[in-house]
Amino acid sequence: MSDCTHDCESCSQSCSEKDLHAQLNQYSCIRKVVAVSSGKGGVGKSSVTAMLAVLMARRGYKVGVLDADITGPSIPKAFGLTRKAKATELGIMPEETHMGIKVMSINLLLEHEDQPVVWRGPVLAGAVTQFWTDVAWGDLDVLFIDMPPGTGDVPLTVFQSIPLDGAVIVSTPQSLVQMVVGKAHKMAEMLNIPVLGMVENMSCVVCPDCGKRIPLFGDADALDKAAQSMGVPVLARLPMDAQIARLCDSGEIERFVCDEMEPAAAAVEELLK
């Protein structure tokens, strides 16, 4: 209904639509939320999330990153965050990077960063929801969510509990990966999450002598075909870059230079406008 308040408890209507979104922390104001997903692990979701956050911060926006990959968190490492998050009367306070990007991850709550998180699905999903309800994010223009792989409990919880304004899907050139990534796209469609576009990671190797782009994984046009079948644009093609890997490993991702990512950041900026 056009006049729906999404408050099902006080509603006298018998409609079947119910708002499952969790309540955002009262000391947070977030304009847009964008998930970076794939459906498969190892394709570079975390690095793409970190680069998008940095690019948006460079454009003058207030940015946050919610690391929803509870069992394999890597966002704090990429940004060089080692301090532990603290709880106040406002809620859990996210840590901030040198550029002022606010970050929350399970690694900021564990005593040791290499401590494994051996939890069952519902507990993992509950932890992600708490990053939305209990963290005092403050004022943000955009919050990026680094999604865990797959289409199970945690991704479903994020898609249903957090009001997403869009999703960026990360893939690599192999047709097998693209098949699995297609599942993530269909999941977003089923839950009415707009897909902003696709980012192809490890797209090629750039020859250091002549600058020629050399595809390593099969058909160079496979992503175009997959994106066309899904009806979404290709936002970026990222070459394999040892420098970005080194920056992530050393916690200095905020120093990266990658012009190929600019169209992806422009798509997020267009969402804000």
Helix and strand tally (H, E) in the chain? 8, 12
* Calpha distance 256→55 (Å, rounded): 9
* Calpha distance 84→93 (Å, rounded): 10
State the pLDDT at residue 11: 59
State the pLDDT at residue 77: 95
Q: What letter would DSSP give residue 22? A: P
State the pLDDT at residue 26: 95
Rg (CA), the chain: 19
Distances 87 to 68, 152, 184, 215, 236 between C-alpha atoms, Å: 19, 29, 34, 48, 38
What are the mean pLDDT values of the chain's consecutive 10-residue runs (273 residues total)?
48 57 94 91 91 98 96 94 92 97 95 83 90 97 93 86 95 76 86 93 87 77 80 92 92 94 96 92
State the CB neighbour count (10 A cutoff) for residue 199. 30
State the pLDDT at residue 219: 66
pTM of the model: 0.89
State the pLDDT at residue 12: 55
Residue type, 230: M
Is the dihedral angle over the CA atoms 138, 144, 150, 151 positive or is it negative? positive
Look at residue 67 and give its three-state secondary structure: strand
* Calpha distance 54→64 (Å, rounded): 10
What residues does 66 pair with on adjacent strands?
104, 145
State the pLDDT at residue 225: 79
State the pLDDT at residue 37: 92
